[in-house]
Amino acid sequence: MSLPIAMAPRSQGQEIGRLYATRPPPGYAFIRVTTLSDGDRPQVQVNSADLQINEATGASAYRAVPGNQPLNLAVNGSTISKDIVPGAEAYLTLVVSKANSSWAVQSIDEGQSSGDGLKAKLRFFNLVPGCTATLKIANGPTIFQQTPFATVQSRTINPVTAKLEGACGEANASLTLPQLRAGDYSSLFLRKDSERLRLTGQLDETEPYRER
């Protein structure tokens, strides 16, 4: 599928940083956190180190963690990840939400990273409880359909421009996809904030690895 996508310039520094970011040794997993809560972003720590959540997208970059070891994910000082053990080389998105006064986490396994270096890749996450979501090109064909809550669908696309529309039932939200290039991965998150659907997206990036 070719998506028409608006092109915006990137700095040379961004390109170099993404291309040459320090990578971990074999056997590591990659996790990121996205939040469902309204209001102030919670303080998130992974293995006792702060993880920055992007205010605009509600998601972090990926962080390398030791594979096949229990993950220590803490939200506002409380550990909530006792049963999460990321497999080596796996990519996980951890969805953090608050019910009453307690924080909880759901793990979405994205599998292992693979793709066509000549194309870009889209990932669509449905983060709306009780909804089976779709993603389509505005006034055009459907890209993902029948996406249950707390799951992801993905596909490769030609790096081109589009206005996208996520929907749950009769409600919908739109987003103009930013510049993608061959080999890029982009994640789209459909949420419901204050009774309104919201579609956000970010270019997938991994923090430079350092021993913690």
123's tokens: 């990932």
**CA distance to 110, 113, 118, per residue, from 29 (Å):** 11, 10, 25
- At 113 the pLDDT is 67
Which range has the worst mean pLDDT, 62-66, 68-72, 115-119? 115-119
Tell me: pLDDT of 1 over 80.
no
Q: Which range is most confident: 64-68, 80-84, 111-115?
A: 64-68
From first CA to last CA, the distance across the chain in angstroms is 41
- At 54 the pLDDT is 93
When the pLDDT of each residue in the chain is averaged and rounded to a whole number, the result is: 85
pTM: 0.86
Q: Which residues contact 18 (CB under 8 A, 6 or more apart)?
A: 205
pLDDT in tens, 97-150: 987 888 999 999 998 766 566 788 999 999 999 999 999 999 899 999 999 999
User: 3-state SS string over 73-98?
Assistant: EEECCEECCCCCCCCCCEEEEEEEEE
pLDDT in tens, 86-95: 999 999 999 9
Mean pLDDT value across residues 20-28: 78
